[in-house]
Amino acid sequence: MQALLKQSDRDPKDAVSDVVVGSGEPYVGTIAKGQTFRIVDLEGNQAVDTLFYCVDDLAERYSAADTIRMQRKLYLSTGTVLYSSLARPMLTIVADTCGRHDTLGGACAAESNTVRYGQHTKHMHSCRDNFLRAIAANEIALEKRDLASNINFFMNVPVTPTGKLTFEDGISAGGKYVEMRAETDVLVLISNCPQLNNPCNAYNPTPIRLLTWNG
């Protein structure tokens, strides 16, 4: 897919929220309808596992299947609409300086780490654990079964000719960002991926920056 690169004209000085999320850490917040939300890959090659839920009904959440089906594209970039499990628009990507974001690779977990990389990796932090930590710490009415297939912003997961997925070096770089306009009030749940065992983070997790502007 051809990268759909687009710069934003929004100034960080005008943001109503500006947060740095440490390497390997979770984040939870809300984005109001009409607000614009930017994720910045501060140092490059950092995967940002992200889930979105409708504030009015957390049972309605980002759907990878509906987003892919509605647009017939595996990867996300400028112009992509992120659809909910009820096939309603949740967010629209309005700017993107990376050009491609993964919808298929899913979130790392203790179990998948063990299968892929060996029993000695089971104790390592994972994105699924980060999601659950954020849910518990913020007393959000979600459970493990509510963790649907997530977006991996900045992550490079090519599909091979035989239909398999491979985890490759990222195509992002320091300062690259993706920017989304909320089409409804959404809860955002992020794991700034702590994975050390594949190249999605260049084997070195780094911080990210999150900015929000009013419409």
| Residue whose token pair is 């970039």 | 77
pLDDT for position 10:
98
pLDDT for 123: 65
The contacts found for 83-88 with CB under 8 angstroms, 24 or more apart, are 84/54, 84/60, 85/59, 85/60, 85/61, 85/148, 86/60, 87/63, 88/60, 88/184
Tokens of 201: 């983070």
pLDDT at 189: 98
State the DSSP string of 21-40: EPTT-EEEEEE-TT-EEEEE
Q: According to the model, what pLDDT value does residue 2 have?
A: 47
* Confidence (pTM): 0.92
Tokens of 155: 């992550």
How far apart, in whole angstroms, are the C-alpha atoms of residue 41 and residue 108? 19
pLDDT for residue 1: 43
- At 38 the pLDDT is 98
Q: How many of the other CB atoms lie within 10 Å of CB of 145?
A: 6
**Which regions in the chain score pLDDT beneath 50?**
1-2
CB-based contacts of 139, cutoff 8 Å, min separation 6: none
Close Cβ partners of 62 (under 8 Å, ≥ 6 residues apart): 51, 52, 53, 82, 83, 84, 85, 90, 148, 150, 151
Residue type, 28: V
Characterize 77-112 residue by residue with b for buried, 16 or more Cβ atoms within 10 angstroms of its Cβ, and e for exposed: bbebbbbbbeeeebbbbbbbbbbbbbbbbbbbbeeb
- Contact by Cβ (8 Å): 199, 118: no
